């Protein structure tokens, strides 16, 4: 909801009879063909239509009405901003249906000479025209997708902080809408990333994922477009154990490529923006419960509406409970979750938002994947194999508090301020296999693990001023802002079970159990303090050079500080092994883009973006030097064509990209190899260089009446110029994702059918394999390499709308029961099977 309409506000012009032919020509292009059918539309208008449109924002309800009625319906954002509709259920003619949809809005629809409809203010003779009360657009909100029925959205903020159309953002952006989240029964961020075009998801450990795009990691996440937050997984980062629950969020936006302008430090893989669910100004209650294979159960309750002061105080509460087991032995999760938010209009120009979330997690079976043969070959273990024991667990919790103030100075300028605090904690008794398998004896891996206690807290603050101004007879846009992030964590570990656990019987692990005293809780390693601070000033200027040409220039000036102390204990005496106190000098990260409007629906673009990532833990030689190697840098060049068709119902993108990441820390051959490389170790030199180039093609939205699609193909060519390898263990060369849902027409409209496939080419892995004896001593080492072959996984869905409130759906995943590794690690551990064939039954209610 926007106080002043965005300059890019688009007309809702959707014709049910339109047809789209979408083709991937040699995997390099998209084409579309629109064919009107006016006569069919006229017949349908006279006969009436069975409508099934949920309550929601007025512009979204009108979009659904236009598609279902087969009419062209045009409006302006000024007419629909801040308005809601009760939706429409039942059989209506066009005029009657529009009257119901627009009831109470103060507007009506007038039919034009060409048969289309135009939304106009409804004025009664003798009565002054009163525009409805407006509310303020919150920072980073983009455009809400709930109740839209769409797989796309007209406006996003992941690359801009202010709502901008995907077509007018000169980088590759994908959106996972609320409708897609519901259709695919996604419950956490990892589920959403698995369906996002161009994104690779791997297991970081038994529960935490790692995300990569175009061969590089994604380190940061934004919530409501605010300051970046560290995802936090893996040695050398900030040990966060939070998995974002999608019950809190309306949709997910993903930008691929370097994102230093608004994302701070990180790899050039991209950044994720998660947009929270906001309170509605009408009552709504949603219920859903699901049950699936391997005792996978989940329930959600979501209630929202006005609370007081004639709707100026609104609230929302979401609760979810997960209780599930997995296809692997000895693995289960139990997690309650709650999210609450209050939104208040203090004045007509000022809105304040406060809220928070809390989740508690109990995990059983904290293993870490499967081993392979020492040469890299697949041991071909049963898919349910999971080397852990009943004593392995993780107990943790995560909490988040946030506050926002949004103020509209006038119709041109707004100020957004936000603060978020998060804290997560985990105590883990890890029991995992370690060691490669000898091809002759089928032995080698032994029981390993330790007790680990960790916590991480983040505080992020963001303030920005955005607006439009006129110069040289044209309207331009300016964003000025500042952000701050502080991450503090602590990680402590007991000595573990080296030499206590013994070798694992691979085929009967229960016959070689751990002894009861295999692990202890006496800490001997400690990372504290472990703190990072970064703060920056950023700005973007969008200049309308001519009617079709737009120039975007921007920059970020940032400072960075990192502190870490690592100590170990021997004979009850703690000794510091390394202490880091690193300050990065002020870095300026530039950004530039050009957008040329080919017509109202298509634009061509080119952009340049940078990012940098300090490497404070990697020290230059000689031993004793405290200077870190220079920061790793990433540069992304991208050009392409974007289309926004059918009034924004369908977004298309074809992009060429080239990313160079330089100065990655490599072992300095002039000095002995470091005994460890994760805490102030020596000696390194910044020489690593990796090139990523390729093609991104994506189509998201309604390609035919009633047919919603998420489709994407990525060709990714990687070149690790330092090691002269093809660098394909991180991302596949070819990645294709397709998911589509079709709502059957006319009397069959209660049924929705969906299906899709994820296809990827092979991954290549190489390294050094180690075999161990029962005491954990290395008895053999050899180089290995192996290839995980390409695979395709097919999924499907059937949904039936029982009545205007209830739906029942069945989802089937990996329908052909393909056996594959979703994650390939090393010969010692870290190889994870993908899920076998499974099913999920879901019942949803909306009131």
Highest mean pLDDT among 78-82, 99-103, 213-217: 213-217
pLDDT at 77 over 60: no
Rounded-to-integer distance, Cα 791 and Cα 812, Å: 18
| 252-259 average pLDDT score | 96
CA distances 205 to 24, 166, 566, 823, Å, are 36, 34, 22, 10
Encoding tokens for residue 260?
């230093």
Query: Average pLDDT of 599-612?
Result: 96
DSSP readout, 143-206?
A: ---TTS--S--SEE-TTTSS-EEGGGSSSEEEEE-HHHHHHTT--BHHHHHHHSTTEEEEESSS
Structure confidence at residue 143 (pLDDT):
77
Tokens of 745: 């027409």
In what helix (H) or strand (E) does residue 483 lie, and over which residues does it extend? Answer: strand 474-494
Could you give the CA distance from residue 236 to residue 530 in angstroms, rounded to a whole number?
9
CA dist 813 and 834 (Å) reads 11
Please tell me the predicted confidence (pLDDT) of residue 142. Answer: 62
612 is written with which tokens?
């940098």
Q: What is the pLDDT of residue 23?
A: 34
Q: How confident is the model at residue 764 (pLDDT cuts 50, 70, 90)?
A: confident
**Res. 518 pLDDT band, cuts 50 70 90:** low
Q: Contact at 8 Å (CB) between 443 and 435?
A: no
pTM of the model: 0.84
Question: What is residue 675's predicted lDDT score, i.e. its pLDDT?
Answer: 67
**Rounded to whole angstroms, how far apart are CA atoms 543 and 794?**
45
pLDDT for the residue numbered 128: 34
Query: Given this model, what pLDDT does residue 286 score?
Result: 97
**pLDDT value at 17 more than 60:** no
pLDDT at residue 787, rounded to an integer: 87
Collapsing DSSP states into helix, strand and coil, what is residue 387? coil
φ/ψ region of 43 (left if φ > 0, alpha if ψ in -120 to 50, else beta) reads alpha
372 has pLDDT over 70: yes
Helices 94-101 & 58-69 angle (0-180, nearest 10): 170
Residue 389 has pLDDT above 90, yes or no: no
Torsion angles phi and psi, residue 99, rounded to 5: -60, -40
Question: What mean pLDDT is reported for the chain?
Answer: 86
Q: How far is CA 736 from the centre of its chain?
A: 18
First to last CA, the chain: 22
Q: Which of 39-43, 424-428, 547-551 has the lowest mean pLDDT?
A: 39-43
- 701-728 pLDDT, tens digit per residue, is 999 999 999 999 999 999 887 765 445 5
């Amino acid at each position: 909801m926007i106080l002043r309409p965005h300059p890019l506000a688009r007309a809702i012009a959707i014709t049910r009879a339109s047809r789209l032919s979408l083709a991937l020509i040699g995997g390099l292009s998209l084409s579309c063909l629109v064919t009107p059918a006016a006569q069919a539309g006229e017949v349908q208008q006279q006969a009436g239509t069975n409508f099934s449109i949920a309550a929601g924002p007025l512009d979204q309800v009108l979009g659904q009405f236009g598609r279902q009625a087969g009419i062209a319906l045009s409006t302006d954002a000024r007419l629909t901003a801040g308005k809601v509709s009760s939706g429409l259920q039942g059989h209506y003619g066009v005029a009657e249906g529009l009257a119901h949809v627009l009831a109470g809005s103060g507007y009506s629809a007038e039919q034009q000479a060409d048969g289309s409809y135009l939304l106009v203010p409804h004025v009664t003779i003798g009565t002054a025209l009163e525009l409805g009360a407006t509310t303020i657009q919150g920072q980073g909100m983009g455009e809400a997708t709930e109740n839209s029925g769409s797989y796309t959205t007209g406006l996003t903020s992941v690359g801009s902080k202010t709502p901008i159309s995907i077509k007018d953002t000169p980088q590759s952006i994908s959106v996972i809408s609320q409708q897609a989240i519901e259709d695919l029964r996604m419950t956490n961020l990892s589920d959403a990333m698995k369906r996002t075009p161009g994104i690779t998801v791997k297991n970081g450990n038994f529960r935490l994922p790692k995300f990569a795009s175009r061969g590089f990691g994604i380190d940061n996440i934004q919530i409501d477009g605010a300051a970046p937050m560290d995802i936090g997984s893996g040695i050398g980062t900030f040990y966060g154990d939070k998995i974002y629950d999608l019950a809190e969020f309306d949709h997910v936006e993903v930008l691929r490529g370097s994102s230093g302008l608004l994302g701070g430090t990180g790899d050039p893989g991209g950044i994720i923006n998660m947009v929270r669910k906001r309170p509605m100004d009408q009552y709504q209650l949603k219920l859903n419960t699901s049950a699936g294979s391997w005792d996978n159960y989940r329930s959600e309750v979501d209630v929202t509406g006005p609370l007081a002061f004639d709707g100026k105080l609104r609230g929302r509460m979401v609760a979810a409970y997960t209780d599930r087991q997995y296809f692997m032995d000895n693995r289960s999760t139990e997690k309650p979750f709650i999210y609450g938010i209050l939104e208040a209009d203090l004045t007509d120009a000022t809105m304040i938002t406060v809220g928070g979330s809390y989740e508690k997690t109990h995990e059983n079976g904290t293993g870490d994947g499967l081993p392979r043969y020492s040469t890299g070959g697949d041991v071909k273990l049963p898919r349910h194999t999971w080397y852990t024991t009943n004593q392995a667990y993780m107990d943790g919790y995560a909490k988040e508090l946030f506050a926002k103030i949004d103020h509209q100075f006038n119709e041109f300028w707004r100020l957004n301020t936000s603060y978020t605090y998060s804290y997560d904690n985990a105590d883990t008794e890890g029991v995992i296999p370690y060691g490669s398998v000898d091809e002759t004896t089928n032995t080698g891996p032994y029981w390993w693990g330790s007790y680990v206690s960790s916590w991480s807290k983040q505080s992020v603050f963001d303030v920005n001023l955005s607006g439009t101004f006129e110069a040289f007879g044209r309207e331009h846009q300016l964003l000025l802002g500042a952000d701050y992030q502080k991450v503090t964590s602590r990680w402590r570990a007991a000595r573990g079970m080296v030499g206590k656990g013994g070798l694992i019987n691979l085929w009967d692990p229960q016959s070689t159990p751990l002894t009861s005293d295999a692990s202890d809780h006496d800490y001997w390693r400690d990372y504290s303090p472990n703190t990072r601070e970064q703060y920056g000033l950023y700005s973007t200027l969008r200049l309308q050079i001519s009617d079709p040409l737009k120039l975007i220039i921007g920059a970020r000036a940032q400072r960075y500080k990192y502190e870490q102390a690592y100590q170990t204990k021997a004979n009850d005496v703690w000794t510091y092994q390394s202490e880091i106190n690193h300050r990065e000098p002020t870095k300026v990260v530039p950004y530039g883009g050009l957008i040329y409007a080919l017509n109202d629906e298509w634009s061509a673009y080119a952009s340049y973006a940078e990012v940098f990532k300090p490497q404070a833990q990697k020290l230059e030689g000689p031993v004793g030097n405290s200077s870190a190697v220079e920061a790793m840098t990433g540069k992304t060049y991208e050009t392409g064509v974007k289309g926004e068709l059918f009034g924004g119902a369908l977004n298309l993108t074809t992009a060429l990209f080239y990313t160079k990441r330089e100065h990655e820390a490599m072992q300095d051959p002039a000095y002995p190899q470091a005994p460890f490389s994760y805490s102030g170790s020596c000696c390194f030199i910044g020489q690593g260089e990796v090139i990523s180039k390729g093609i991104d093609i994506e189509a998201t939205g309604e390609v035919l009446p009633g047919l919603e699609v998420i489709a994407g193909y990525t060709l990714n060519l990687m070149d690790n110029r330092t090691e002269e390898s093809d660098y394909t263990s991180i991302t596949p060369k070819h990645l294709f994702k397709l998911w589509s849902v079709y709502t059957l027409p006319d009397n069959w409209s209660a049924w929705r059918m969906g299906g899709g496939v994820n296809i990827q080419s092979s991954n290549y892995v190489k390294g050094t394999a180690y075999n161990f004896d029962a005491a954990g001593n290395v008895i053999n080492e050899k180089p290995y390499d192996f290839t995980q072959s390409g695979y395709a996984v097919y999924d499907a869905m059937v949904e039936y709308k029982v009545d205007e409130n209830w739906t029942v759906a069945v989802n089937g995943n990996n329908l052909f029961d393909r056996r594959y590794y979703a994650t390939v690690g090393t010969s010692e551990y870290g190889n994870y099977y993908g899920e076998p064939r499974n099913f999920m039954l879901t019942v949803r209610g909306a009131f």
